[in-house]
Structure 1
């Protein structure tokens, strides 16, 4: 089942995990949207630099450290995702509490591992 996923902290650099996640999500049949610091394309996915009003987001997968996540708290909540994935290095107890208050599930996991083990 396809899960529309927002990759937040997307990079054009193929050696970055966010870039690898976009590729693997697409290979696994998921619809992908992405926000990063630079506009560009990764595997046909447009990386936006503006906070787009995406609809029907199932999962937000984070590739931003906790300090860089703060400006996105309200935005992520406004998307009403079913879950947020905190990839290694993005763990953030402050944001966990905000998500709990808004009844949004979250997990501390690696998107790439979840995909490779078919747990995504």
Structure 2
């Protein structure tokens, strides 16, 4: 399986959160990760960064930020230029989907954990 470098937007050191579980599962399945969020700490061996540094080598952004908190991240997401954005359950946002699609970024309403467990990632 090819490494699909994944930016986890909404990363958290809280082991009860799906973003935490996804980070660990991504690493276990051979994908490199970048954790981005507002919390401090490390997840799956990678520090949590603030959404400031633009990473230009990202295959996938997997969203764990609710739509009400996404508008301030639109520029960051678009400038990152991922190949795709996965809107995990509860993060669905038609406005961001349209912005991304206009830039040629694929968007999926899916669950990263399910995609990984079924080999669809």
In the TM superposition, structure 1's runs of 4+ consecutive aligned residues that sit over 4 Å from their partners are none
- How many residue pairs get aligned? The number is 120
The match for 1:89 is 90
The match for 2:56 is 55
Q: 1:32-71 maps to which residues of 2 (within 5 A)?
A: 32-71=33-72
CA distance in 2, matches of 1:50, 1:73: 11
CA distance in 2, matches of 1:109, 1:61: 10
SS at match of 1:10: coil
The structural deviation recorded for 1:44 is 0.6
The match for 1:27 is 28
- Is residue 2:104 matched to residue 1:100? no
- Is residue 2:75 matched to residue 1:74? yes
Gaps of 5+ in 2: none
The structural deviation recorded for 1:107 is 0.2
The match for 1:18 is 19
The structural deviation recorded for 1:49 is 2.0
SS at match of 2:39: coil
CA distance in 2, matches of 1:74, 1:49: 14
Contact 2:9/2:61 (8 A) holds in 1 = yes
CA distance in 1, matches of 2:119, 2:51: 31
SS at match of 2:8: strand
Q: TM-score, normalised by structure 2?
A: 0.96
Q: TM-score, normalised by structure 1?
A: 0.96
